[in-house]
C-alpha cells in the first residue's frame, strides 16, 4: 500500500512537472509567435522606410539629372547661337575679303600703266566687270572751255555723247559740285538719254573735278547697287581721277620731250651744213 | 591639284578670277587672253576646268567651247562661261554650244568658287 501511494505521489509529481513543462512550452511557443510577429512587423517597417529613402534618393537623382540636362541644353543653345554668330561672321569676313580683293584689283589695274588710253580702257573694264554697267561714258573736263568732253564710252557711240558745260544738267551739276548722283530708278533700257544718267560719279583729285563717269544703264542681271558698288564708286572717284590725270600729264610730257628732243637733234645737226 | 584655265581678254577680270581661284586649295591658274591662246595652253598643259568669257577678240568663247567639245582629248573638260550677257537666250547659246555652267558679271567670288568646286570635287 505504501509502495502504491509512493508511486502515485511520484506520478502526481511527474504530472505536475509535465504540466509545468507543457505550460512553459506553450508560453515559449506564444512568445516565439509574438516575437516572430514583431520581427515581421519590424521588417515591414524597415522595408517601407528603405523604399521611401530609395524613392527620395531617386527623386533627388532625377532632379539633379534634370538640372544637368537643362544646363546642358542651355549650353547647347548658347553654342548653337555662337555657331550661328561665327557662321554669319565668316560670311561677313568672306564678303569683306572679296570686296577688298575687288578694290585691290581695281586700284592695282588703275595704277598699272601711264598710258592714257590704257587707263581709260581699265576704267571701262572696272565699270563693266565690277559694277555691271552696260552703257556709260567717261567725260573729262576741258579747262579752257570749261566743258566736259566725252573721251571713252561703252554700249553707246562717242558721237552720240554731247559736250556738257559745267553746271548744265545732271552731269554738269555733278562736275560743278563734286558730289555723286544716284537716280532712284536703275534702268535697263535700250534707249538712253545722254544728258540724263542713272549714276554720275565725279572724278576728283582732292576737291578738283577733272571729269565724270556717267552711267546710263546696267546689265539685266544687275538689279541694284550693293555697298561694294558704292565703295567702287568712291575708289573710282579718287583713283581713276589720279590715274587719268597722271597718265595724261605723262603723255603730254612725253610728247613735249619728243618735240624738244627733235629740236635738239635738229640743232645738233645744223653745224654739219 | 586642279589646273584651271581662265580665258579672258580683260586683265582686270583675269586678276580678279585669279584671286578667287587662289582660294581653291592646291589649284593652279593658267591664263589665256582669247580662244586661240586657250587652245595653245590646252595643247601644252593639263587642264581640269575652263572658265571662259564669251566676248573676246580673235576667237570668242562660244567658238572655243565648240572646238573643245569637238576635240576627243578635251571634250570632257568642264567649261564655265563668264560673261556680261545675262539674257536667257545668251545662256541657252552658251549651254547649247557645250558649256556646263554660266556665270554673269559682275561675278560673285563665292559663287565662282562654289561652281568650280562642284566640277572639280
Q: Classify A116-259 by CATH class.
A: alpha beta
Interval A17-76: pLDDT, tens: 888 989 999 999 999 999 999 999 998 888 888 888 889 999 999 999 999 999 999 999
CB distance B12–A126 less than 8 Å? yes
pLDDT in the model for residue A95: 85
Residue B50 has pLDDT above 90, yes or no: yes
User: Alpha helix (H) ranges present in A111-240?
Assistant: 116-126, 169-177, 227-235
pLDDT in the model for residue A183: 83
Give the mean pLDDT of B6-23. Answer: 90
Look at residue B66 and give its three-state secondary structure: helix
CB distance A126–B13 less than 8 Å? no
Which chain B residues are closer than 8 Å to A106 by Cβ?
A: 12
Which chain B residues are closer than 8 Å to A188 by Cβ?
A: none
- State the total domains in chain B: 1
> For residue A199, which phi and psi values (nearest 5 degrees)?
-135, 135
Residue B75 has pLDDT above 80, yes or no: yes
Taking the CB of residue A34, how many other CB atoms lie within 10 A of it? 10
Which chain B residues are closer than 8 Å to A125 by Cβ?
A: 10-13
CATH of residue B31:
3.40.50.2300
Give the mean pLDDT of B7-36. Answer: 90
Its domain, for residue B35, covers 3-120
> For residue B80, which phi and psi values (nearest 5 degrees)?
-110, 125
**Considering only A156-160, B6-10, B32-36, which range has the smallest mean pLDDT?**
A156-160
pLDDT in the model for residue A270: 62
Angle at A261 between CA A255 and CA A265, to 5 degrees: 145
Give the mean pLDDT of B25-43. Answer: 91
pLDDT in the model for residue A87: 93
pLDDT in the model for residue A28: 92
Question: What residue spans define the domains of chain A?
Answer: 1-110, 116-259
Shortest CB distance from A109 goes to which of B12, B87, B108? B12
CB distance A101–B19 less than 8 Å? yes
Regions in chain A scoring below 70 on pLDDT: 1-2, 187-191, 270-273
Residue B86 has pLDDT above 70, yes or no: no
Interface of B with A (CB under 8 A): 10-13, 15-16, 19-20, 84-87, 104-110
Amino acid at each position: 500500500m505504501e509502495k502504491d501511494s509512493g508511486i502515485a505521489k511520484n506520478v502526481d509529481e511527474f504530472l505536475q512537472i509535465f504540466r509545468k513543462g507543457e505550460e512553459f512550452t506553450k508560453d515559449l511557443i506564444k512568445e516565439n509567435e509574438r516575437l516572430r510577429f514583431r520581427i515581421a512587423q519590424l521588417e515591414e517597417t524597415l522595408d517601407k522606410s528603405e523604399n521611401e529613402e530609395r524613392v527620395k534618393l531617386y527623386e533627388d537623382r532625377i532632379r539633379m539629372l534634370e538640372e544637368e540636362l537643362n544646363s546642358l541644353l542651355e549650353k547647347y543653345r548658347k553654342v548653337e547661337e555662337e555657331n550661328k554668330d561665327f557662321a554669319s561672321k565668316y560670311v561677313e569676313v568672306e564678303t569683306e575679303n572679296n570686296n577688298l580683293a575687288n578694290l585691290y584689283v581695281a586700284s592695282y589695274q588703275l595704277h598699272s600703266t601711264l598710258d592714257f588710253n590704257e587707263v581709260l580702257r581699265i576704267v571701262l573694264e572696272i565699270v563693266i566687270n565690277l559694277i555691271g554697267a552696260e552703257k556709260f561714258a567717261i567725260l573729262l573736263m576741258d579747262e579752257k572751255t570749261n566743258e566736259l568732253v566725252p573721251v571713252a564710252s561703252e554700249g553707246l557711240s562717242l558721237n552720240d555723247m554731247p559736250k556738257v558745260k559745267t553746271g548744265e544738267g545732271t552731269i554738269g551739276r555733278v562736275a560743278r559740285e563734286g558730289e555723286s548722283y544716284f537716280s532712284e530708278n536703275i534702268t535697263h533700257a535700250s534707249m538712253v538719254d545722254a544728258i540724263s544718267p542713272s549714276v554720275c560719279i565725279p572724278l576728283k583729285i582732292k576737291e578738283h573735278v577733272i571729269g565724270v563717269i556717267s552711267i546710263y544703264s546696267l546689265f539685266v542681271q544687275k538689279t541694284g547697287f550693293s555697298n561694294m558698288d558704292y565703295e567702287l564708286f568712291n575708289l573710282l572717284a579718287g583713283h581713276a581721277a589720279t590715274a587719268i590725270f597722271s597718265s595724261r600729264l605723262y603723255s603730254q610730257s612725253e610728247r613735249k620731250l619728243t618735240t624738244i628732243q627733235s629740236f635738239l637733234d635738229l640743232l645738233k645737226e645744223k653745224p654739219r651744213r | 591639284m586642279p589646273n584651271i584655265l581662265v580665258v579672258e581678254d580683260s586683265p582686270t577680270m583675269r586678276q580678279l578670277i585669279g584671286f578667287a581661284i587662289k582660294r581653291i586649295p592646291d589649284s593652279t591658274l593658267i591664263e589665256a587672253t582669247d580662244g586661240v591662246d586657250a587652245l595653245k595652253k590646252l595643247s601644252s598643259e593639263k587642264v581640269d576646268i575652263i572658265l571662259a568669257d564669251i566676248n573676246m577678240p580673235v576667237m570668242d568663247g562660244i567658238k572655243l567651247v565648240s572646238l573643245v567639245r569637238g576635240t576627243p582629248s578635251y571634250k570632257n573638260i568642264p567649261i564655265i562661261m563668264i560673261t556680261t550677257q545675262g539674257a536667257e537666250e545668251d545662256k541657252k547659246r552658251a549651254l547649247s554650244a557645250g558649256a556646263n555652267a554660266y556665270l554673269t558679271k559682275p561675278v560673285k567670288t563665292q559663287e565662282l568658287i562654289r561652281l568650280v568646286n562642284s566640277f572639280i570635287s
